[in-house]
Structure 1
């Protein structure tokens, strides 16, 4: 960078294990529901959607929730990573993302009782589909669903739990072969790992339930299994719901506590919610979830912590990092509206050519625009 580049936290590089990120703006994983073939195979939508955000300047581009098993898909239109063919399809996306200077991240996920739902139908969104509609039998820790509009789920046997841990590990190996730089474990938003963590949905009486140690066992086994096969130079990340905002459910204190028992985790992304029918947390607005990430950074200063929460401008993003002390921001809906969010954030903060994180093919459109008339 030139000597005229402003000093910002947002556009300072960051190194985690063997990976250096060009800035502190991550593309948050967001479901796309774009697979009409219902086979879990990434298609041109994933290439276009993720590739555009890589070209738009994000430092880490994370896939939508990518199911470790067919029954773990949130909907039949979701991406999966349970076979070599899925691996090959995602490798194409990884190659393009990396060619644009971004790191490629994969969010591995299992929806548990929240699987087999309908994402689009008005008045039906998030509800379970029947078998006739293309749904399937879902599984959960104890047959207790995190929200009420779901079909009955089946309590997992111990063998099924162990098989499920194996699915996560096998998917991590495929993610490595596909070339991903970062692996994020989805432990948030009421999906299967989260269903194990909270006593609201985990009322098992064996060693996968009951007290804190039992309820966190499934996650701890997944982390240990993945870290054994995930290369030493690649960061391992977890996304948590820092709080459910539900009395007696998972809390920010629980989130902080479990991180003491997850050796090998380098990065934590802190969101919230997913258990219960009614949202009772802070009023949504710019940075409304960032206090949760701040708490985790305060308790675990050696972890790389990213936060989320309706950040819509470069100035908001820079102020958020300065005020909270966290390390990065995951941008969701604002990135759906604008794939060039990092470029415009950099311009807003005073960067100019050639220091904007823009794809070379688009430089004629970068800021500041040429004030001289074109003859």
Structure 2
């Protein structure tokens, strides 16, 4: 055995130093591994291939202009988004081949915003491929902590990498990229400021259950999704109906705002023994034990659709908020803070269930303006 070798007490195999350098220390490895490693040559790095922009200042300036053009087109697409948001009527629709009728504004906004971010991405890729440094760099890894000198060297490498992007040397790219990214942020702020608020309590209360949307006449309750009317004598004790207003049909026929209308108008209709209803208002707003409540949970707006007949509890599947039908849908468990709003119903001359008025309070997640 070589005098520089030692023996692994566990396996009896020879161990040799993995490296004699002061940086790595004397790490002992099995001699067989060292001999196997000697059979493979270090492939090294391939010869660096210079790009045209590396050696030709004209090519570099041309690439700079191309990148700036892409960023400029991104700004133009963002401006199209901003103009379209205000200029295209919300009711404007057109027939899209293969899809059907679509809102013109949605299509233009989606395409313009998509092109804006796509052009920023393409510009960044072209910048990296033509102007940023593509010198291959490798660094040997070691097990010991870095010294102060090595950390300083790493910082220097990072700074050198930043300089290799030529960001400081190419003001045209810097300003065009800043403009593209700056303009691209505007649609996001516009969506928040223009589409999400502010709204009034009356707007929150309004749903398509409002008789004003039906010429002032009571609105028939329709099965969802069949959109067929419900007769009072069809609602047996313990039965559950998922209900939409008859006025939804107008939105379906026109092909606009259907999802928005359904999201606020969803109602659950249930019949229980009138003697089980403990709140007088809930009995008065129903018909012989048939009551209708909003399906939109007052926590975060999930659909409340699970009914337990023995306990008369309604359960929201998202966060387990539980409402007691016998107590005018008061919250008895979970994070919801408000009862489900009740929809007042009656029976018309033909025996169909109808809603003579809309909800008396906002549906959905809780609002501080609500009376209870």
Q: Is TM-score (shorter-chain normalized) higher than 0.5?
A: no
| TM-score between both structures, scaled by the size of structure 1 | 0.20
Q: Which has the higher contact order (CA 8 A, sep 6+)?
A: 1
| TM-score between both structures, scaled by the size of structure 2 | 0.21
